[in-house]
């Protein structure tokens, strides 16, 4: 950001970072501008509130949010986007964060600034996106929403398949070569501010698919293992390393056989606590 140039709100996923950059630019443009002046314009009594919010030591309330919007001189569209960023940061549950991110991503101006990252979030937040990408590795793949809809288990709608195809092409995970569509190897750009939320969405949905398979797939098609153990907490890091190593071995096996791919599977390796710590 050039000295004194106001930051573009729609390129941010953290309202705190935006406030910090906004104040720095405002101060650079007018050395007389201060936290006290901002507080007066926002209608708040504490001159330090802006700095505390930027530093993550305080949150905005509905009343102070309204005051900040006034001090920032945001129009209605920008005010709604800023409020969505606040909710994204301050939400308590994944459901609330997902709802806030949907409001953020619904902004046309945000999609213009963070198009690929938004698509990356959707990729991890919808189980059928990675499934369709892997399906493209199988012989006979058709980039046709109706054909794809029927291949997935459980089935999705043609509209969902079309949406996923658009996002996969946008990210670069699918590429068109003449009349053929193939899977490509690229990194998925997921917004840092919501990467943890995207990972939570991914695992929740994939664990639901595993649960569905108990009654929806024959024992010949699936393989479920589980063991309940009592261990010292100090063993958990080693168990995580073992699971990571197992995942790498499984990926090597799958990569060696990808040329003959026929079907898409999900492999979940889980280590979850069933009791509270230090009983």
* Cβ-count burial 243-275 (b if 16+ within 10 Å, e if not): eeeeeeeeeeeeeeeeeebeebeeeeeeeeeee
DSSP element (H, E) containing 168 = helix 158-171
E-only strand ranges, the chain? 174-177, 180-183
* Residue 276's pLDDT band (cuts 50, 70, 90): confident
Residues 236-256, mean pLDDT to the nearest whole number: 95
Q: What is the pLDDT of residues 204-244, one digit of tens each?
A: 999 999 999 999 999 999 999 999 999 999 999 999 999 99
211 burial level (CB within 10 Å; 0-12, 13-18, 19+) = exposed
End-to-end CA distance of the chain: 52
Q: What is the pLDDT of residues 153-205, one digit of tens each?
A: 999 999 999 999 999 999 999 999 998 999 998 778 788 889 999 999 999 99
Pairwise CA distance, residues 131 & 191, whole Å: 21
Q: What is the pLDDT of residues 128-140, one digit of tens each?
A: 999 999 999 999 9
* Cα radius of gyration (the chain): 24
Q: Residue with structure tokens 């595993």?
A: 210
Pairwise CA distance, residues 166 & 159, whole Å: 11
Is the model's pLDDT at 4 over the cut of 70? no
Shortest CA distance to 191 belongs to which of 131, 127, 132, 122? 122
Count of other CB atoms within 10 angstroms of residue 100: 21
Pairwise CA distance, residues 20 & 79, whole Å: 17
pLDDT at 183: 93
Q: Residue with structure tokens 């996002």?
A: 167
CB 116 within 8 A of CB 189: yes
Q: Residue with structure tokens 């690229």?
A: 186
The pTM (predicted TM-score) of the whole model is 0.82
Residue 2 phi/psi, 5-degree rounding, is -70, 150
């Amino acid at each position: 950001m050039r000295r004194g140039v106001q930051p573009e709100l729609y390129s941010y996923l953290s309202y705190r970072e935006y406030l910090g950059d906004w104040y720095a630019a405002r101060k650079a443009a007018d050395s007389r501008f201060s936290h006290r002046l901002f507080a007066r314009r926002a209608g708040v009594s504490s001159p330090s509130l802006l700095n505390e919010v930027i530093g993550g030591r305080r949150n905005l309330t509905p009343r102070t949010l309204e005051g900040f919007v006034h001090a920032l001189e945001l129009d209605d569209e920008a005010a709604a986007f800023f409020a969505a960023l606040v909710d994204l940061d301050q939400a308590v549950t994944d459901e609330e964060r997902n709802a806030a991110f949907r409001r953020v991503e619904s902004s046309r101006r945000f999609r213009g600034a963070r198009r690929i990252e938004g698509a990356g979030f959707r990729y991890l937040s919808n189980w059928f996106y990675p499934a369709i990408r892997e399906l493209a590795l199988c012989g006979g793949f058709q980039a046709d929403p109706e054909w794809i809809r029927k291949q997935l288990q459980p089935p999705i709608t043609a509209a969902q398949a079309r949406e996923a195809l658009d996002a996969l092409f946008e990210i670069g995970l699918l590429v068109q070569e003449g009349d053929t569509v193939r899977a490509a190897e690229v990194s998925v750009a997921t917004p840092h501010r919501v990467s943890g939320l995207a990972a939570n969405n991914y695992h929740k949905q994939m664990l639901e698919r595993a649960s569905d398979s108990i009654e929806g797939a024959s024992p010949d098609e699936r393989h479920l293992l589980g063991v309940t153990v009592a261990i010292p907490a100090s063993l958990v890091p080693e168990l995580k390393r073992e699971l990571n190593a197992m995942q790498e071995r499984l990926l090597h096996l799958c990569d060696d056989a990808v040329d003959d791919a026929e079907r898409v599977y999900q492999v979940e390796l889980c280590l979850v606590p069933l009791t509270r710590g230090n009983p």
